[in-house]
Amino acid sequence: MSRSPEAKLRRILVKAPNWLGDLVMSLAALGAVRRAFPDAELAVLVKQELAGFFDGLRWLDRVIPYRIRSGFEGVADRWRVISTIRAGGYDLAVLFPKSFQSALWVTIAGVPRRAGSAGQGRGPLLTHAARPARDPQGRHQKNDYLEMLRDAVGIEASGEDATLEVAEPRRASMREWLTNRRRRAHAPLVALAPAAAYGPAKEWPADRYARLIDRLEETTGAECVLVGTASERARCTEIAVASRVGAIVAAGETDVGDLVALLSLCQGFVGNDSGAMHVAGALGLPTVGIFGSTRPDRTGPVGPRTRVLYERIECSPCLARTCRFGHYDCLKRISVERALEALASVGGRPGEARFL
């Protein structure tokens, strides 16, 4: 894409991915757009429930949250999004999702330059199209976004990851929230994410998490906080009750912005392949991701102190929501002690003694 003065881009819109983990994996590409066009106004269009993810990113100029309801209300919501894009007067729209709908929105809104991956029948709607990779296996999903930018927009990645920053008001709010719930204020705090929206084939057994809570207290004196969505609160509560020492249950009490702030106050993280795992890694926490049916080479946590536990058996990775054989051996073969050892191998803050 020409970056001559005649073609100078004044306003750029990035359509963000639709899942928290994908947001984290696209952060390096978003940072690359910022570095390539430092003088342009940079806006992000994102689902309303994910907008808090960007609260601490001061190098963004605008975050545009939206929601799409069902039925006739959804039609009105879509036109509202299109009208908002048109009113922004954007010179370029960069589409991280591969959906036809995202390309249709920016086309109807009249954005003159529209960049993204071809496929899903949307190639004719794009003015700057990158061909989808034929065989993404073995390549991290983070690189899909970076390669699309290179092929469609001409942005070469520098290899530098954008840092996930935390909004201080959010951090202060979650610090107060913890103060009212912690039993031992000065103990290390470890976050656990024991659920996964995808299904049980991504969930380490609940009894392992309960034992991990107790073993962390026994070996390090750590206290645990269980994170997740409102729909995952029952599983988190079950695990906290099953443990001997108990745990704080945050599931259902935090939105995405709060989750980012809460994790930034922790000294470690263990969890399933989930959005929370990706956030923890991006924050630089000692992070252990437990994988079952999915591929850690594609969606493993990104960060300087991350570790993956993955037991590749003959039927994995199956990428299924449930185990077709009913045994879930890929998850059950991962022991509590292995999780403890993995956390110890990446534990501690830079310049500080390891807490494990």
SS3 for 67-130, per residue?
A: CCCCHHHHHHHHHHHHHHHHHHCCCEEEECCCCHHHHHHHHHCCCCEEEEECCCCCHHHCCEEE
The band of 214, judged by pLDDT with boundaries at 50, 70 and 90, is very high
pLDDT at residue 2 greater than cutoff 50: no
Domains in the chain: boundaries = 5-153, 168-346
Q: What is the pTM of this model?
A: 0.94
Average pLDDT taken over every residue of the chain:
92
pLDDT at residue 35 greater than cutoff 80: yes
User: What's the pLDDT at 6?
Assistant: 37
Instruction: Please give the average per-residue pLDDT across 258-262, as a whole number.
Output: 98
User: What's the pLDDT at 323?
Assistant: 85
User: What's the pLDDT at 111?
Assistant: 98
Encode pLDDT of 95-113 as tens digits.
999 999 999 999 999 999 9
Burial 296-318 (b: 16+ CB within 10 A, else e): bbbbbbbbebbbbbbbeeeebbb
User: What's the pLDDT at 348?
Assistant: 53
Using a pLDDT cut of 90, give the percent of the chain over it: 82
Same fold, 5-153 and 168-346: yes
User: What's the pLDDT at 67?
Assistant: 97
Alpha-carbon span 292 to 282, nearest angstrom: 21
Alpha-carbon span 10 to 7, nearest angstrom: 9
Instruction: Please give the average per-residue pLDDT across 66-77, as a whole number.
Output: 95
Q: Indicate the CATH number for domain 168-346.
A: 3.40.50.2000
Contact predicate 103/116, CB 8 Å: yes
Alpha-carbon span 152 to 126, nearest angstrom: 10
DSSP 179: H
**Which fold does the domain 5-153 belong to in CATH?**
Rossmann fold (3.40.50)
